[in-house]
Amino acid sequence: MHRQSFDELRSHLLESGIAPKHVHRIASELNDHLEDLRLEALENGLSAHEAESHAVNRLGDQRVIAERILEHTEFRTWIYRYPRIARIYLPVAYALVLPAAPIFAGMANPSIVARWGAALMLSGAVTAGMFLMMQLSIVLT
Amino acid sequence: MGQTNPPFMSGVPELLLLRLLEQREMYGYELVKAIKLTTGRAISLGEGVIYPVLHSLERGGALRAKRKKVDGRTRVYYSLNAKGRKRLDRLQSEWQRIQSGISAALEAPGNA
């Protein structure tokens, strides 16, 4: 019964940006705590069903637990902690870095630049040759 | 005069947890039982809410968490470290300052 509830708590926390590692840990500790409360209630003479609901009540409303967790921004993944960086600065940085990537790659490996330059010059020469032939054919006819 | 009051009741679980963990390492369920025992059940909280406080203290470097297998069950034990002791001292003195201020206000004649 409560396993299902912790699944809901897990989903809610994950959707709210709490880091998965932290969500799994808190759910695991809550589950252990619930089990301790259930065993304590059984030792005190409650039936299995009563012990279960007694334990759930003592653990507290899971919405309140979720609220308390969400109050701590340090548990969230960095995308949720720094939304401006994730939504504005990072795309801008990518937009700047991606066109510059061939330059950086060429600086790191100069032979690529030489080959790229030679290929560019060759293709330029071929294109110029084609234009020249076309011009000559127009002039001669 | 530049000193501000800490969050009122919201700081109480933190103070109690640090105080209890100063004595020995404990896991969550043990800590809740100890809070009830030491406060004479004056403080009642949904037991699950101590975990966000414990995790936040751990994240802030005041506590250390360690997994231990005891009687076939794995438990997360929390213990206080040097940073936690400093935090406890600060919270204790803030709490005592507030407490003495409130006591003085309550005891002062004709202030109501």
| CATH number, domain containing residue B54 | 1.10.10.10
The answer to whether residue B112 is domain-embedded is no
- What is the value of pTM for the model shown? 0.71
Per-domain residue ranges for chain A?
2-81, 85-140
Mean pLDDT over the full length of chain A? 87
Q: Give the confidence band of B111 by pLDDT, cuts at 50, 70, 90.
A: low
Q: Indicate whether B76 belongs to any domain.
A: yes
Dump pLDDT digits (tens) for A50-60: 999 999 999 98
Please give the torsion angle defined by the CA atoms of residues A77, A83, A84 and A87, in that order, rounded to the nearest 10 degrees. Answer: 100
**Chain B contact probe: residue of A22, A35, A68 with most B CBs at under 10 A:** A68
Q: Is the pLDDT of residue A26 over 60?
A: yes
Q: One-letter amino acid identity for A10?
A: R
- Of the candidates A34, A46, A39, the one whose C-alpha atom is nearest the C-alpha of residue A5 is A34
Smallest CA–CA separation between B10 and chain A, in Å?
Answer: 10
**A25 touching chain B per CB within 8 A:** yes
- Measured from the Cβ of residue A46, the count of other Cβ atoms closer than 10 Å reads 16
**Domain boundaries, position B76:** 9-105
A16 vs A139, higher pLDDT = A16
Tokens of A2: 């409560």
Whether residue B2 is contained in a domain is answered as: no
Residue of chain A whose alpha carbon sits nearest to that of B60: A74
The string of pLDDT tens digits covering residues A64-122 is 899 989 988 888 888 887 888 877 888 888 888 887 777 777 778 878 778 888 888 99
Q: Is A87 in the B-facing interface, judged by CB distances under 8 Å?
A: no
Of residues B6 and A73, the one with the higher pLDDT is A73
Q: Examine residue B1 and state whether it is found in any structural domain, yes or no.
A: no
Q: Which residue of B has its CA nearest to A68?
A: B52
Which pLDDT band, with edges at 50, 70 and 90, does B4 fall under? very low
Domain count, chain B: 1
Q: Which of A29, A32, A64 sits opposite B49 (nearest CB)?
A: A64
For residues A83 and A27, the answer to whether their CB atoms sit within 8 Å is: no
pLDDT tens-place string over residues B23-35:
999 999 999 999 9
ipTM greater than cut 0.95: no
pLDDT tens track for B42-98: 777 789 999 999 999 999 999 999 999 888 888 999 999 999 999 999 999 998 998
Q: Tell me the average pLDDT of chain B.
A: 86
